[in-house]
Structure 1
Amino acid sequence: TFLLPQQEIGIFLENQQRLTQLTEERDRAFSDLTHELRTPLTSIALVAETLSKRLHPPEVNWVERMLNETNRLIDLIQNWLDLSQLHANPSQYLNYQNFSLRDLISAVWYNLQPLAEKKQIKLIITGVEQVEILADKSRLTQVFANILDNGIKHSPQASPITLHLSLGGSDSQAKSLVICDIIDSGEGFLEADLPYVFNRLYRGDTSRKRNSNSFHTLAQGSGLGLSIAQEIIQAHGGKIIARNHPQTKGAWLQIILPLQPNHVTPPVKKTQKR
């Protein structure tokens, strides 16, 4: 370590402040743009959907392709707006309730089963049987749906996805955290991409991809899925870590969440009147 002269410290802080300001201005401008684009894109999607019902092959194939791409852009816009709202004021967009985390994960997997069955992929859930958590059920559903969907898409045929639940915490707050490890058997992330996988719209260097079907092919999708997952987890006071598993060599995403966030008052359970 070394000390900077007082003048250089001032210049460094000024540059950092300007960089932060430019980033905020860019995000704000992009959010305004996405708001303006959502309405015309929705109109285009409705027109394309109407045309697809009236046309016949091969014309209908072109319209369906246009509809798919339009819907993809609409999803991208909604994801960006969600990300911006969560980043600006996370607590305002969270609706806390008590629920079973394991039941939520099972429900998410049930909805993904048609996709999983095509590749003969099964989810193996291990660890703690019952984990009651105070969190936003809808937002955590979004997190696990995104991660498990990616796991299915980028896993080899007939390979399992393992999800392990455990409890942890400091000595003074034993078992105050739930730790969820999600591991697949795909190609994993490129080591060079790992520091950036949670960055907005990060696509990685496609020239260095080992396999275009692997999890680390960040060019697929909107490039916002893991960013949104991180914002949601951090808004709950938790964290999410991406790495490659040493045994399966696949993607390993670890989610750490407080069972009871410090800044949230538990909802009062209603009792029936006799």
Structure 2
Amino acid sequence: MSIRTKLLLSYIAMIAVPVVLFGAVVMTAAGLYLRDMAPGSGHAAARQHRAALPFEAFRDLFGGRSELAGGLRFVAAHDPRLLDDPAFLADAEAELAKVDAGLLVLRGERTAYASPGLDADAITRQLQAGGSEAANAWPPRKPGGYGFDRIAYTAADGQSATLVIASDMEPVARFFRRFVPTVLLALVGALALTNGVLTYFVSRSIIRPLQALRTAAGHIREGELDRPVNLRRQDEIGQLGAAFEEMRVRLRDSIGDGLQLEQSRKELLASISHDLKTPITAIQGCVDCLQGGVADTEEKRRKYVAMIAGKAADMNRMIEELSLYSTLDVGRLPFRFERLELGEYVRRTVEELRLDPRLAGVRLELDVPRHDPASADPWPLCVQADREKLRRAILNVVENSLKHMEREPRILRFALERLAPGAPDEAVAIRIADNGTGIPEDALPHVFDRFFRAEPSRRTESGSSGLGLAIVKGIVEEHGGRVRAFSRPGEGTSIVIALPADRSSRITDSPGKQPT
């Protein structure tokens, strides 16, 4: 749930919860105070509606008074003789008593009839004064204010008379004196409680994760990058925490990569120093022999010069591979991609290798199917590749195989394979297999690492830089492909170069643009 949604719900709750609490308090207080209103009096409405809605008691009270007042007004207008009948007045008085009211009949300034308990003189003075000041006596011995309903009529004997219905308002006044403060306090309490609780929980849900982020920032500032930031939230703060955790991981990895890079540079310098030291030492030895007169014959001099030339060539090749790998490693080696029909390309490459003197005595075998336009798949095995860089990768694999082919007959096989045909990740693979000594199983995952040699001792005397297969991996990956090694000790090694297949319908040897 987002913070915006939480705030919206909290605002709604700040309105809804006080309203509900306020309503509950109003209903409860009204029920309790109405139950206590005019205890022991003739207030039948309060007693009659204890189980009903609280304010129905007021509705029945005032409704009953209005109904009786209307009936008496009708009698005064149409049959005033009944107001002189004691029996009728007694019945009317009994009905009025049920709604906490009394009856007073005035003839001029004389009281002709008054309900028991009413202070007729006080009510008469109040009516004559026209005020609403309190009159004591009804209910008996309980002071309170009256509400009056005066009905003027003409008596049967023709004299002017007034019918006064006196309603006791003290129970109602007492109810509101207790009810209104309770309601106001309940409203203030509900608002304070609701806002306090919601503010506490909402603020805690925001402040606590921010404090966690502040603590994590302190750890990062102190260099402690191994403490994860896991807020376990789905809102905006959770997203911030996820971004913070990603930043922490990247920073840790970046520092780790920097340390690894620094270590790799140290290893690189050590490897270069070691690999160059051997041929330089040999060259220095030959020069010393030539200068010291040890080579006292022409044949010896030619031998030492040839040795110097060979070691210089090895050094030049090692430096060239180091330069190529460095350029490739920093991504500055330019590639010129074009669409190649890989079968024909491998066939030509193998034919060139047959003429290489370094492969004298090595039997080259080729298994490349020729393209048949009438076959089920009319398209040849094509890739987007840089001719020269791909050739360099193949030659590096061949040179690596030559170093480990010690038994006769020496055989080097080239094969072309299709991987995942028809799939979106369809690839074309060049497999180069030898029957050499093979690679130990524990060394196989590292053969494409730079300066890695499977032999216990370093074979720098062969001119190996330890970068050949690392360069192969870099070139293949720049083509968007992958390279893998398979080997069994004593049986030989296979290097598989897989490149993404190009399924376009037209073949061209014109240079293409480098893929982006």
Q: Does 1:6 align with 2:228?
A: yes
CA displacement, residues 142-182 of structure 1 (integer Å, 9 cap, x when unaligned): 111121233345333234322221222476426x3111222
1:173 aligns to what SS in structure 2? coil
Aligned counterparts of 2:306 and 2:404: Cα–Cα separation in 1: 25
Of 114, 118, 131, which residue of structure 1 is paired with 2:381?
131
Q: 1:25-63: per-residue Cα shift (whole Å, max 9, x none)?
A: 558979xx99xx9xxx9xx9xxx9xx9xxx931111101
- Contact 1:188–1:250, Cα closer than 8 Å, also in 2: yes
> Does the alignment pair 1:56 with 2:298?
yes
- 8 Å Cα contact 1:233-1:239 kept in structure 2: yes
Judged with a 3 Å threshold, the aligned counterparts in structure 2 of structure 1 residues 109 and 65 are, in CA distance, closer, same or farther, namely same
- 1:237, distance to aligned residue in structure 2 (A): 0.8
Secondary structure at the residue paired with 1:19?
Answer: helix
Aligned residue number for residue 348 of structure 2 = 107
What residue in structure 1 maps to residue 165 of structure 2?
A: none
Q: Give 3-state SS (helix, strand or coil) of 1:206's partner.
A: coil
Contact 2:441 2:488 survives alignment (8 Å): no
Structure 2: distance between partners of 1:118 and 1:228: 25
Which of the pair is proportionally richer in helix? 2
**Partners of 2:511 and 2:259 in 1: CA distance:** 47
Q: Specify which of 441, 445, 448 is matched with residue 191 of structure 1.
A: 441
What is the CA–CA distance in structure 2 between the aligned matches of 1:102 and 1:269, rounded to whole Å?
A: 18
Amino acid at match of 1:157: E
Q: Is residue 2:334 matched to residue 1:93?
A: yes
Structure 1 counterpart SS, 2:393: helix
**Native 8 Å contact 2:448 2:470 kept in 1:** yes
Q: Distance in 2 between matches of 1:168 and 1:254?
A: 11
Deviations 1:113-170 (A, max 9, x none): 2547632512232446443222100001111112123334533323432222122247
Corresponding residue to 2:400 among 143, 150, 153: 150
**Matched residues in 2 for 1:140 and 1:118: separation?**
23
Written as runs of structure 1 = structure 2, the 5 A alignment for 1:8-23 is: 13=253, 16-23=256-263
Partner of 1:214: none
Relative to structure 1, is the Cα distance of residues 118 and 85 closer, same or farther in structure 2, using a 3 angstrom cutoff? closer
Shift of 1:241: 0.6
2:412 corresponds, among 161, 184, 196, to: 161
What CA deviation, in whole Å up to 9, does each residue of 1:7-34 have, x standing for no partner? 9x8796475144234147558979xx99
Give the equivalent residue in structure 2 for 1:254: 496
CA drift of 1:73 comes to 0.8
Query: Structure 2 CA distance, aligned partners of 1:25 and 1:134?
Result: 33
Partner of 2:150: none
Instruction: State the TM-score, normalizing by the size of structure 2.
Output: 0.39
Aligned length: 234
- What do you get for the CA RMSD once the two structures are aligned? 4.0
Whichever residue aligns with residue 334 of structure 2, its letter is Y
Q: Secondary structure at the match of 2:339?
A: strand
Where relative contact order (Cα < 8 A, 6+ residues apart) is larger, the structure is 1
Unaligned runs of 5+ in 1: 210-216
Q: Which residue type is aligned with residue 390 of structure 2?
A: L
Q: Distance between the aligned counterparts of 2:323 and 2:460, measured in 1?
A: 20
CA shift for structure 1 position 190: 1.5
Contact preservation (8 Å) 1:116, 1:122: no
| 1:68 alignment partner, one of 294, 298, 310 | 310
* SS state at 2:325 partner: helix
Q: Distance in 2 between matches of 1:168 and 1:204?
A: 29
Residues 152 and 123 of structure 1, relative CA distance in 2, 3 Å threshold: farther
Question: Paired residue for 2:453, among 164, 186, 203?
Answer: 203
How many Å separate the matches in 1 of 2:311 and 2:367?
Answer: 35
Unaligned ranges ≥5, structure 2: 1-225, 230-247, 291-296, 372-379
| Secondary structure class of the residue paired with 2:486 | strand
CA gap of 1:127–1:249, structure 2 versus 1, over 3 A, is: farther
Q: Give the conservation status (yes or no) of the 8 Å contact 1:185–1:250.
A: yes
- Which residue of structure 1 aligns with residue 322 of structure 2? 80
